[in-house]
């Protein structure tokens, strides 16, 4: 028997440190912060495939000479590059023929002249009017999802005393997972081109679903054990429930990880970041069900949580006779 509940302070400490580090990387100072995708900022993105070998530095230099020093360039596969720029113009004059062409085509022609045959494999273009309002929509979606899940858990655990606490603990674990995913993403963003795009948001929302899914399985066991045997301290019940669901938790995450790993290593470059989000999310989601959601339930029930908050925010003592 592993004593999970006894080590709860360690889980809180470890998670706290990871989240704090993540938040440091999330703060947009200097090289830190998230890179917002063109869906949020507007702009253009294209995948170029070269026939001859080209280095990223050469490409960066050439793009700068074309007036796009802001271009973010990343190699995806051999001689294939993803180039992200500000929104390219609809029409520019070809410097040689004077013909009106798109700026994308003008860039392609220039690169072709310098580096040999170039093919535009994919391009993506978002105008500023489209980019507006997306951020708020995504935030609303997360909040609505959290509230919906909170309500459902409260309802599903209605036979227990204080079912609301189960809901709140599941939501805290969910926020914990999202923060860690965001933090790791921001951290990796220092080394690779990792943008917050629609697929990323989809990934985060999926992680939310997975996190809650996993938490509920543990909570379900706690619910069952609480109704089955009364009089046992909650810490013991929670620990037993974690032990009993441990095999399932590990097996399920393992099987899901098999699939995700295969997709991460062998799948196309386009879903690489998306799958990475899911990978982190599955690991963190499994951990948080045991280390955060369940433990939070214990400290809340035992009054430790109240004590913790009282220590941080001293209760105002009414002054007599003033």
* Whole-number Å distance between alpha carbons of 253 and 288: 13
Least distance CB 141 / another protein (angstroms): 4
Q: Are 106 and 68 in contact (CB under 8 A)?
A: no
Least distance CB 252 / another protein (angstroms): 4
Q: Which is nearer to another protein, 64 or 130 (CB)?
A: 130
Q: Which is nearer to another protein, 80 or 302 (CB)?
A: 80
- Cβ burial 71-101 (10 Å sphere, 16+ → b, else e): bbbeebeebbbbbbbebbeeebeeeeeeeeb
Least distance CB 175 / another protein (angstroms): 14
Q: Are 64 and 103 in contact (CB under 8 A)?
A: no
DSSP 8-state class, residue 190: T
Q: Which is nearer to another protein, 113 or 119 (CB)?
A: 119
Least distance CB 312 / another protein (angstroms): 31
* Whole-number Å distance between alpha carbons of 85 and 118: 18
Cβ contacts of 39 within 8 Å, gap of 6 or more:
126, 130, 131, 134, 197, 198
Q: Give φ, ψ of 68 to 5 degrees.
A: -125, 60
Please spell the DSSP secondary structure of 9-76, one letter per residue. Answer: HHHHHHHHHHHHHHHHHHS-STT-SPEEPHHHH-EEEEEEEESS---HHHHHHHHHHTT-TT-EEEEE
Q: Which is nearer to another protein, 235 or 278 (CB)?
A: 278
Least distance CB 319 / another protein (angstroms): 47
Q: Which of 136, 173, 168 is nearest to 153 (CA)?
A: 168
Q: Which is nearer to another protein, 20 or 232 (CB)?
A: 232
- The stretches of 189-303 forming alpha helices (DSSP H) are 198-228, 234-266, 272-288, 294-302
Least distance CB 202 / another protein (angstroms): 5
Q: Which is nearer to another protein, 165 or 221 (CB)?
A: 221
Q: Give φ, ψ of 119 to 5 degrees.
A: -125, 135
Least distance CB 255 / another protein (angstroms): 5
Q: Are 272 and 264 in contact (CB under 8 A)?
A: yes
Q: Which is nearer to another protein, 52 or 129 (CB)?
A: 129
Q: Which is nearer to another protein, 35 or 215 (CB)?
A: 215
Interface residues with another protein (CB under 8 A)? 47, 90, 102, 105, 119-127, 129-130, 133-134, 137-138, 140-141, 144-145, 148-149, 152-153, 156, 198-199, 201-202, 205-206, 208-210, 212-214, 216-217, 220-221, 223-224, 244-245, 247-248, 251-252, 254-256, 258-263, 265-268, 270-271, 274-275, 278
Least distance CB 113 / another protein (angstroms): 19
Least distance CB 269 / another protein (angstroms): 8
Q: Which is nearer to another protein, 211 or 299 (CB)?
A: 211
Q: Which of 212, 234, 211 is nearest to 223 (CA)?
A: 234
Q: Are 279 and 260 in contact (CB under 8 A)?
A: yes
């Amino acid at each position: 028997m592993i004593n999970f509940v006894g080590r709860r302070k360690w889980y809180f400490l470890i998670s706290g440190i990871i989240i704090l580090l993540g938040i440091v990387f999330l703060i947009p100072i200097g090289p830190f912060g998230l890179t917002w995708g063109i869906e949020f900022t507007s702009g253009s993105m294209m995948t170029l495939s070269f026939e001859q070998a080209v280095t990223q530095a050469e490409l960066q230099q050439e793009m700068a000479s074309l007036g796009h020093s802001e271009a973010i360039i990343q190699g995806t596969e051999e001689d294939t590059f993803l180039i992200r720029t500000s929104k390219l113009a609809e029409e520019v004059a070809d410097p040689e023929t004077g013909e009106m062409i798109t700026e994308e085509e003008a860039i392609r022609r220039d690169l072709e002249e310098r580096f040999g045959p170039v093919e535009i494999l994919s391009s993506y273009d978002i105008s500023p009017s489209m980019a507006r309002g997306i951020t708020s929509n995504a935030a609303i979606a997360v909040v609505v999802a959290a509230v919906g899940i909170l309500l459902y858990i409260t309802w599903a655990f209605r036979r227990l005393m204080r079912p609301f606490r189960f809901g709140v603990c599941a939501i805290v674990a969910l926020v914990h997972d999202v923060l860690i995913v965001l933090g790791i993403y921001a951290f990796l963003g220092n080394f690779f081109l990792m943008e917050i795009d629609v697929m990323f948001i989809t990934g985060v929302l999926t992680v939310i679903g997975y996190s809650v899914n996993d938490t509920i399985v543990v909570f379900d066991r706690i619910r069952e054990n609480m109704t089955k045997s009364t009089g046992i301290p909650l810490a013991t019940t929670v620990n037993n429930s974690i032990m009993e669901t441990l095999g399932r938790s590990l097996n399920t995450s393992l099987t899901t990880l098999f699939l995700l790993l295969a997709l991460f290593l062998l799948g196309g470059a386009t879903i690489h970041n998306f799958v990475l989000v899911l990978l982190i999310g599955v690991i963190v989601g499994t951990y948080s069900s045991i280390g955060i959601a369940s433990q939070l339930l214990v400290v809340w029930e035992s009054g430790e949580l109240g004590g913790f908050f009282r220590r941080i925010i001293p209760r105002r003592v009414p002054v007599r006779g003033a």
